Structure 1
Amino acid sequence: MSTDFAPRTAYINKISTVVPEHDVHEDFVAYADSTFDLRRKQLLFRRMADRAQISHRWSSFPSLADFYGDDPNSVDTATRMREFERTAPDLAVRAVDGLDLGDAASDITHLIVLTCTGFVTPGIDFEIMARCGVPTTVERTQVGFMGCFAGINGLKLAHHIVRSEPAARVLVVSVELCSLHMQKTDDLETMLSFLVFGDGAAAVLVTAEESGLAMDSFQALMIEDSRELITWRIGGVGFDMKLSGKVPGSLARALDADTMKIVLSGAETSSIDMWAVHPGGRSILDAVEGALELGPEDLSASRKVLDNYGNMSSATVLFVLAEMMDRGDTGSGCAMAFGPGLTAETMLFHAS
């Protein structure tokens, strides 16, 4: 008897993306501008904000003062987590509803929830079951606290599930409320990191049905001597983010020809038609574009997402893939997302 087994290809059939209703980007820029005692820091921050290529970032509260009052450092982590519990499930449910699953929601076999900006249980997965028609027998997994590259990790997990269980219908939901973790400081690097983050959610349906984006392979990379360049720790007044200004340079050096041969399974960079690069910030996109010698249009989807939403942590690369699907892009693709470690998670895919 033959023991040969040919795993099925897993496809991203649909992606739904949503953001909260309040645009707080200009509100934050005005607030941050007032936190610096030194005129030199204030001018430098303004210059960097003008060059950030971000027009909008979204939050569930109308303004920073609405939630934080006069001093963000007076709002402890417990208060922030209560706000996460209040608002994150609604955003996640809106994303799932955007898939228009209808009665097919009852056919979902696996639910994967991604978040690194809050913790609560019973939580987002329970709300999705209760409000979206997903059965309570669904196999549930939460990918927590991995950071911005977790969007790729969620897709990777769905890919493995479908390849081992071809009848599986996997729902991947990312929800991030980055705006809950702002703090008051006159440290320029920290305030510049707050400048790029916003809130958003994405829901993805992954099955063996041959429609959408076919996921081909995944590759994880850890960049040497970069462990402290991006860190994410739980503090007393929210989660403490460190995003070093050295990240773009480290990425540019790491994405050399030998590394890209591994990422692209031996193919040439020129063979990739679609680049779904996590827009962690303008300088990160510029670094990737320069290192890979890409053309000005190659990262247009990533730059559009950055401009309209900022960096929404794990949801962001899913927004980029959604933009490509909405545009009807075809050919071979490479997705990349970066996060703590410094780590890069990559995915090869194709669309016809």
Structure 2
Amino acid sequence: MNNAAALVSLATAVPPHQFHQHEVMEAAREILAPRFPQFDTLATLFSNTGIRHRYGVMPFEWYMERRGWPERTQAYLDGAEALFVDAARKALAEADLAASDIDTIVTVSSTGIATPTLEARVATQMGFRADVSRVPVFGLGCAGGVSGLSIASRLAQARPGTNVLFVTFELCTLAVRHDELTKANIVALSLFGDGAAAAILRAGDGGATQVEAMGEKLWPDTLDIMGWRVDPEGFGVIFQRTIPDFVTENMGPAVTEILERMRLSPANVDRFVCHPGGSKVITALERALSLDQGTLDHERDIIADYGNMSAPTVLFVLERARARGLPQRSVLTALGPGFTASCISLRHAA
């Protein structure tokens, strides 16, 4: 029997409020420019991201007021519960399963704090069994889509025949800060949106798309590249180094190293499916992976339509690639706090 975990279904969801990039830029100018003389110089970041619009869990006016932890947390709980249910129900419907068929739930999120965690909060609404295994994971950031899928795959493989539901959701817009007069805050304002993705994995009975192998690389002394700083007002984004430059210099060797541990090489990969951090990161990825410029077309489309939603974003790209038809071997890649590269090789039978 083939015990490789198979991707049974994949679905995505976004909240109801759509924000156009030029509207976000003008709102940021109104709030920050009077107190931040460098704003006009940094405002070009909004037009350089490749983003047309993105989505948020709260109405636009909510973000125009300064918010603290209680308001942010309530917005996170309400918004994340709705996104979890939306994405999970879509994945269940595609798999022709009921929530009571799920044996394990892996939940990945880094943009809010919830105890009890989200899968417990929606358990009654969803109809999960009382004996379902729960695996909540915090802190993976933008790598969470790939790393979380890897965790779910391992759990499915450990218990063939069981159904593992993986849900990742990020509400990045809730970290909007009025008090942070920094380039890092402007970068965050120009990039981040909210979204969710869900997948169901099962091992033991084959499947058209199977998780072939997975691997990660953690670079030493890179804690300052990306992450959260926690203070009385909320999360504050950390961007201390230029990520596109880091990607150009380090991602190619890292992916080659990870693939070698999978007994593969870049030449064996028919399609890279990458987390698109922004337009400059996409260009850097093409350069680092020795791809022709424009190869990462789905990545550019997703960043344009949704912005950077952190962990779920790469699964939006995978969903689009699946709809167009996956080649024999695809490799998912994402970078996140740590600083970490995470990869999964998917083997697809036409």
Query: How many residues of Structure 1 are paired with residues of Structure 2 in the alignment?
Result: 341
In the superposition, the TM-score normalised over structure 1's length comes to 0.90
Q: Residue 305 in 1 paired to residue 305 in 2? A: no
Query: Equivalent residue for 1:90?
Result: 82
Query: Equivalent residue for 1:221?
Result: 217
Query: Equivalent residue for 1:327?
Result: 324
**% identical aligned pairs:** 26
In the superposition, the TM-score normalised over structure 2's length comes to 0.91
User: Following TM superposition, by how much is the alpha carbon of 1:132 offset from its aligned partner in structure 2, in angstroms?
Assistant: 2.1
2:248 to 243, 248, 252: 252
Aligned-partner SS, 1:311: coil
Aligned-partner SS, 1:203: strand
Contact 1:33 1:45 in 2 (8 A): no
2:109 to 107, 115, 123: 115
CA distance in 1, matches of 2:220, 2:246: 9
User: Following TM superposition, by how much is the alpha carbon of 1:225 offset from its aligned partner in structure 2, in angstroms?
Assistant: 3.8
Q: Which moved more, 1:119-128 or 1:83-92?
A: 119-128
Aligned-partner SS, 2:293: coil
User: Following TM superposition, by how much is the alpha carbon of 1:297 offset from its aligned partner in structure 2, in angstroms?
Assistant: 4.3
Contact 1:23 1:59 in 2 (8 A): yes
Alignment map for 1:259-278 (pairs within 5 Å): 259-265=254-260, 266-278=263-275
Q: Residue 126 in 1 paired to residue 120 in 2? A: yes
1:186 to 172, 181, 186: 181
What one-letter code is carried by the residue in structure 2 that aligns with 1:162? A
Alignment map for 1:277-296 (pairs within 5 Å): 277-296=274-293
User: Following TM superposition, by how much is the alpha carbon of 1:42 offset from its aligned partner in structure 2, in angstroms?
Assistant: 3.5
CA distance in 2, matches of 1:186, 1:108: 46
Contact 1:111 1:138 in 2 (8 A): yes
Query: Equivalent residue for 1:21?
Result: 16
Contact 2:226 2:339 in 1 (8 A): yes
Alpha-carbon spacing, 1:292–1:40, altered in 2? closer, same or farther (3 Å): farther
Contact 1:111 1:170 in 2 (8 A): yes
Contact 1:89 1:123 in 2 (8 A): no
CA distance in 1, matches of 2:330, 2:9: 17
Contact 1:200 1:315 in 2 (8 A): yes
What one-letter code is carried by the residue in structure 2 that aligns with 1:17? T
CA distance in 2, matches of 1:228, 1:160: 30
2:190 to 192, 195, 202: 195
CA distance in 2, matches of 1:165, 1:202: 23
Query: Equivalent residue for 2:38?
Result: 41
User: Following TM superposition, by how much is the alpha carbon of 1:173 offset from its aligned partner in structure 2, in angstroms?
Assistant: 0.7
CA distance in 2, matches of 1:69, 1:51: 23
Aligned-partner SS, 1:314: coil
Provide the aligned C-alpha RMSD in A: 2.1
1:81 to 73, 83, 87: 73
Contact 2:147 2:343 in 1 (8 A): no
Unpaired runs of 5+ residues, structure 2, are none
Deviations 1:164-214 (A, max 9, x none): 211110000111111111002332232112211110011111112433421
What one-letter code is carried by the residue in structure 1 that aligns with 2:69? T
Alignment map for 1:135-214 (pairs within 5 Å): 135-184=129-178, 185-208=180-203, 209-214=205-210
CA distance in 1, matches of 2:161, 2:282: 37
Aligned-partner SS, 2:152: helix
Contact 2:192 2:310 in 1 (8 A): yes
Aligned-partner SS, 1:85: helix
Contact 1:274 1:298 in 2 (8 A): no
Alpha-carbon spacing, 1:285–1:244, altered in 2? closer, same or farther (3 Å): farther
User: Following TM superposition, by how much is the alpha carbon of 1:7 offset from its aligned partner in structure 2, in angstroms?
Assistant: 6.6
Q: Which moved more, 1:297-306 or 1:340-349?
A: 297-306
Contact 2:53 2:304 in 1 (8 A): yes
Deviations 1:199-246 (A, max 9, x none): 001111111243342111111112344221112132222211112351
Contact 1:115 1:314 in 2 (8 A): yes
CA distance in 2, matches of 1:142, 1:113: 5
Alignment map for 1:1-20 (pairs within 5 Å): 8-20=3-15
CA distance in 2, matches of 1:37, 1:50: 21
What one-letter code is carried by the residue in structure 2 that aligns with 1:263? I
Q: Which moved more, 1:320-329 or 1:97-106?
A: 97-106
CA distance in 2, matches of 1:83, 1:56: 21
User: Following TM superposition, by how much is the alpha carbon of 1:38 offset from its aligned partner in structure 2, in angstroms?
Assistant: 8.3
Q: Which moved more, 1:32-41 or 1:176-185?
A: 32-41
Contact 2:283 2:293 in 1 (8 A): no
1:50 to 47, 58, 62: 47
CA distance in 2, matches of 1:327, 1:87: 30
Aligned-partner SS, 2:76: helix
